[in-house]
């Protein structure tokens, strides 16, 4: 995995200030559906114009907004492979329970020799579905409780 993806950024006070100022400038541009041209001005009076794709500009702005808040920022590729223990830790379940989910086909996985590996994007899709199912169940329970006058 490239070093870029392994680094966590902890913003200093100066970083937070600059990130806040820059994100305010970028905010009106994130709704654009086309690339944006950015002029880089160097100390040696050299100027370069960069094209930033619209999705990358949105991601950059999100990073800057989080940095401005003082939050740690880490960029994680969605196509990286995770071990079963890493996935179990992320889901906060035991590894044997996770193996049951994999065997039941709830989360896609790949075999690398005798080891199972899960794509981060597949894990996130599973988590999103579980969160949506949980919210739906909570909504239904709340509606039933209101119908039965069990509300507070």
Identify whether residues 42 and 24 lie together within a single domain.
yes
Confidence of residue 8 (pLDDT cuts 50, 70, 90): confident
Q: Are residues 62 and 120 in the same domain?
A: no
CATH code of 99's domain: 1.10.1660
Does residue 145 carry a pLDDT above 80?
A: yes
Burial 119-145 (b: 16+ CB within 10 A, else e): bbebbeebeeeeeeeeeeeeeeeeeee
What distance in Å separates the CA atoms of residue 114 and residue 104, rounded to the nearest whole number?
18
- Which of 20, 47, 74 lies at the terminal end of a domain, its last residue? 74
Tokens matching residue 133: 């199912």
Range of the domain at 101: 81-147
Whole-prediction pTM: 0.55
Residues 8 and 68 grouped into a single domain: yes
User: Residue 38 corresponds to which tokens in the numbers above?
Assistant: 């950015």
State yes or no: pLDDT of 23 exceeds 70: yes
Q: CB-based contacts of 99: which residues, under 8 Å, 6+ apart? A: 84, 116
What proportion of the chain, given as a percentage, has pLDDT over 90?
60
pLDDT grade for 45, boundaries at 50, 70 and 90: low
- Same-domain pairing of 85 and 127: yes
Q: Are 91 and 135 part of one and the same domain?
A: yes
- Residue 132 in domain: yes
Residue 152 is assigned to a structural domain of this protein: no
Residue 24 lies in a domain: yes
pLDDT one-digit tens code per residue, 47-73:
788 899 999 999 999 999 999 999 988
* Per-residue pLDDT at 1: 39
Number of folded domains in the chain? Answer: 2
Residues 74 and 126: their CA atoms lie apart, in Å, by: 21
The span from the CA of 19 to the CA of 72, in Å, is 13
């Amino acid at each position: 995995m490239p070093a870029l993806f392994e680094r966590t950024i902890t913003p200093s006070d100066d970083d937070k200030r600059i990130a806040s100022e820059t994100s305010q400038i970028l905010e009106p541009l994130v709704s654009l559906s086309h690339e944006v041209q950015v002029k880089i001005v160097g100390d040696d009076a050299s100027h370069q114009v960069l094209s930033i794709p619209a999705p990358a500009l949105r991601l950059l702005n999100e990073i800057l907004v989080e940095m401005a808040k003082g939050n740690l920022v880490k960029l994680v590729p969605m196509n990286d492979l995770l071990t079963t223990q890493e996935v179990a830790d992320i889901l906060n379940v035991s590894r044997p329970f996770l193996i049951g989910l994999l065997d039941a086909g709830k989360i896609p996985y790949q075999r690398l020799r005798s080891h199972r590996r899960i794509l981060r994007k597949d894990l996130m899709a599973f988590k999103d579905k579980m969160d949506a199912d949980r919210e739906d169940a909570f909504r239904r329970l709340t509606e039933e409780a209101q119908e039965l006058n069990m509300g507070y």
